Structure 1
Amino acid sequence: MPSGETKRAQISASSAHGSDEEWQKSKIYKTEGKFEAREGHHFYRPIDSYEGLHRWDPNFQWTEQEEKKVVRTIDARVCTFACVGFFALQLDRGNISWALASTLLTDLKMTSKDYNLGQTIFLVCFLLAEMPSQLLSKRVGPDRWIPVQIVAWSLIAACQAFLACRAPLGFLEGGFIPDTTLFLSFFYKSSELPKRLTCFWISDTIAGIVGSFLAFGFLHITNASGGGAWRYLFAYEGLITGVIGIIAYFWMPASPVQTKGGLRGKDGWFTGHEEKIIVKRVIRDDPSKGSMHNRQAVTPRRFWESIKDYHMWPIYAIGLI
């Protein structure tokens, strides 16, 4: 029989062998983010003013499990809140149909023609606002501009006038969708965005369902003056949206490497290791994301070049449709 010392030596050797196997396994699978020799990592290097440059490491690698964990965190904290913002948009954008079912036209002494005119004004302004809002969002950052949009349109949506409010409401709401898409692109690869945008658009349907129940409750409120219940519908749903906008200001980070502070906590959402993963995976997927700072305005020259690029024309056409 082996002695006690021999047993201890066997156990120690077995443990060391097991640890070595685990280390080798982690080393084998830690290949995410590795550059091939033909790629030339200098091509991917961001500009000096890029906000995540301090997390850029061309030799940095990570495991697939680490990347999945990071993506789950982004889904829970970034994509989910983007869906909440879209919920707020649809809540204020869609409540006009419920107000129409109430006494809106009678109280404001309007006809169906007046209503259609107001909706046309809203939709035209909604469409025209998308490009200017995108340019402004690129200049000040979507983390600042989106909350301002939400709070501003909530104030207008809570007002009781109709024609006077449709144009500014359309201008403020029109840029939300493209601005939020820009914000999501800071965190996701192009192959990941379609699934997240699917969830984004599903929140539109959810808002319609929830909004119908809210409308049922608000439209049954009566007051001593006999005013239309649709006024409560606009006021309370505008209040809900305003609260979401205020929370958004303290929740939305400027970028994946700037998540500390506000409602995100003093330590932020990601560790330095995780920030390196996000930066490198996004830049490798689309090197152009490292060609501008997240608060850098689009120059007239860049804007004109994008207009001239005929490869983009089908995308523009789809957007207009």
Structure 2
Amino acid sequence: MPFHDSDKQSASKEVVASVSEATVEAAVDERKLLRRIDWHVVPWLALLYLLNFLDRGNIGNARLYHMQDDLHITDQQYLIALTVFFFPYALFEPPSNVALRRLRPSRWLSFIMLVWGIVMTMHGLARNYGDLVALRVLLGLAEAGLYPGVVFYLSCWYKRSELGTRVAAFFTSATVAGAFSGLLAAAISNMDGVGGKPGWSWIFILEGLFTVLCAVASFWILEDFPENAKFLNDAERSWVISRLQDDMKFSAGGEKFKIKYVWQSIKDWKTWVAMGIYMGFDGPLFAFSLFTPTIINQLGFEATVANLLSVPVYAWACIVTFGVGVLGDRIGHRAYINLALFSIGLAGYIILIASRKPSLSYFAVYLAAAAIYPTIPNSVAWVSSNVEGSYKRSATLGMAIGWGNLNGAVSSNVYRAVDKPWYRLGHGIVLAYIAIGWLCSLLFYFLLRRENAVRETGARDEVIEGVDNPRANPRNGIFKSEEEAQMEKGDEWSGFRYSL
């Protein structure tokens, strides 16, 4: 029987009410339970995103093994095939995130993974340009829900001061995928001619079949939300839900879906500024992941060597990403980290534009990787921690990530064959994206800080029945209790403080 939101909400309240605070403290070892949550939640999600990123970007590796020649497509047609992926990918992210909250993650995420695994396998059977375009559209549609869904899902498990490390641990799989894709493509290319199929075809087929197998396993391995996770007992569920509510996640444990929560997200200025931040790193991310092998190849290295030279770049990005995730949770000032990382990215792409030496350009690629990849989990944790209400947060993340990913349609067209080997136009456009991310991060910081200051003055205080508050203003809302105000207003509640 499906576990609906109203059932979840009432069940979680019953769990919290039935287990006393003293009983919970006696029954729960916080460090051990957090470690157990980590092991049940993060590793499998990291594997799923590794496969997601691998399947999305392996077309760049396959291209080096004569895919274009065999399919008889031009450079322009190849870029169009990359572009069409992003439209369904971006447009279906917001509704997929809302669907995830209403459905069970173990079912929804596993289902979309199964579909994209099948589509990826079919890439290896493509015969012409039309086949490739149709498959890229279907792949974008199927993959749309994973990344925003996982980010939202993690935000339902961890406090704001814990989220950055977990998102970074999950997201490092993208850097591992970047490194692993080069090694894997180089190895699979040796199957050229097996079964009458070229090496690039086997890259798609084998990687797609492995995704299908993992999707089937996910139906049993993936956990759902804290209020109905199978590995927790009642005392542990109560502890998880209570600590999230104490961290200003008032909707922890479930809330009933109301369309007004989606409208709250659309009308919130934070959503639109966040879209600018996501634009600042998602545009560069797709350009970097799709074209790194090609860029290195055009610097004078053969296909297999170019794939292998991309491995240490992604290994470095993996280390920096996880380190920044830990640092963000420790110091709590994610704005400063964002500004520093975007600045490193600006330096990297300025060097790429100016350089005429392969060694210097290769060094700049390391700077770019160290800027783009760590910025993503830091920004995700920053935005997520400042949006309360599970449906509002899911809508905000869906729109921000969807808009950011839509810019992949632009950045996947900026590295034109006529611009090789230095690709000044492509690097210049990516530089502009990073500048937008830097400016929006600064704006987000100042607006959040200003709103915190306004709330300290009491200008946002609501009228709470039975509470004498001379600063309360009916324009801010009239509520029967503080708890009602928290649940109805989320992060707009006067007592909510934004993290900077």
Measured against the shorter chain, the TM-score band is 0.7 to 0.9
Match of 1:319 among 272, 275, 278: 278
| Deviation of the 1:140 alpha carbon | 1.7
- Is the aligned partner of 1:200 residue 2:170? yes
Alignment of 1:137-156 (within 5 A): 137-156=100-119
Q: 2:247 aligns with which of 285, 289, 314?
A: 285
Deviation sequence 1:79-118 (CA, Å, 0-9, x none): 1111111111012112101110012111111111111001
What SS class does the counterpart of residue 289 from structure 1 fall into?
coil
| One-letter code aligned to 1:282 | L
Q: 1:71 & 1:65 partners in 2: Cα distance?
A: 10
Map 1:33-52 to 2 at 5 A: 49-50=8-9, 51-52=11-12
Asked whether the 8 Å contact 2:12–2:254 carries over to 1, the reply is no
1:55 corresponds, among 15, 40, 44, to 15
Query: Under a length normalisation based on structure 2, what TM-score does the superposition of the two structures give?
Result: 0.50
CA distance in 2: counterparts of 1:300 and 1:256, whole angstroms: 23
Shift of 1:126: 2.0
| Equivalence for 1:305 | 264
Equivalent pair of 1:124/1:170 in contact (CA under 8 Å): yes
Distance 1:168 1:313, change over 3 A: same
Contact 1:88 1:244 in 2 (8 A): no
CA contact (8 A) 2:189 2:202 kept: yes
Aligned pairs for 1:74-89 (under 5 A) are: 74-89=37-52
- Pairing 1:1-321 to 2, within 5 Å after superposition: 49-50=8-9, 51-57=11-17, 59-61=20-22, 62=25, 66-159=29-122, 160-161=125-126, 162-223=132-193, 226-260=196-230, 269-290=231-252, 292-293=254-255, 298-321=257-280
* 1:244 to partner: Cα distance: 1.4
Deviation at 1:285, TM superposition (A): 1.6
* Displacement after TM superposition at 1:234 (Å): 0.5
Contact 2:185–2:203 (CA<8 Å) still a contact in 1?
yes
More helix as a share of residues: 2
User: Which has more radius of gyration?
Assistant: 1
**Cα distance per residue 1:169-205 (max 9 Å; x no partner):** 1122122111011221222112211111111111111
What is the CA deviation profile of residues 8-60 of structure 1, one whole-angstrom value per residue up to 9, with x for unaligned ones? xxxxxxxxxxxxxxxxxxxxxxxxxxxxxxxxxxxxxx977514223214851
TM-fit CA distance, 1:291: 7.4
For the Cα contact (< 8 Å) 2:189–2:203, is it kept in 1? yes
Give the whole-Å Cα distance in 1 for the aligned partners of 2:149 and 2:274: 16
The answer to whether the 8 Å contact 2:156/2:252 transfers is no
Residue identity matched to 1:312: T
**One-letter code aligned to 1:142:** P
TM-align CA RMSD: 2.4
CA distance, structure 1, for counterparts of residue 194 and residue 109 of structure 2: 38
Q: What stretches of structure 1 move > 4 A for 4+ residues in a row?
A: 46-49
**Could you tell me whether the CA contact under 8 Å between 2:40 and 2:223 is conserved in 1?**
no
Q: Any gaps of 5 or more consecutive residues in structure 2?
A: 127-131, 281-500
Give the conservation status (yes or no) of the 8 Å contact 1:144–1:249.
Answer: yes
Residue 63 to residue 318, structure 1, CA distance change in 2 (3 Å)? farther
Q: Which amino acid letter does the alignment assign opposite residue 209 of structure 1?
A: A
Q: Residue 191 of structure 2 aligns to a residue in which SS?
A: coil
The normalised TM-score by structure 1 is 0.75
* Residue-pair matches, total: 265
Instruction: Tell me by how many angstroms 1:254 deviates.
Output: 2.2
Contact 2:55 2:208 in 1 (8 A): yes
In 2, distance between residues paired with 1:88 and 1:273? Answer: 35
Contact kept in structure 1, 2:227 and 2:254, CA below 8 Å: no
* CA contact 1:55–1:279 (8 Å) conserved in 2: no
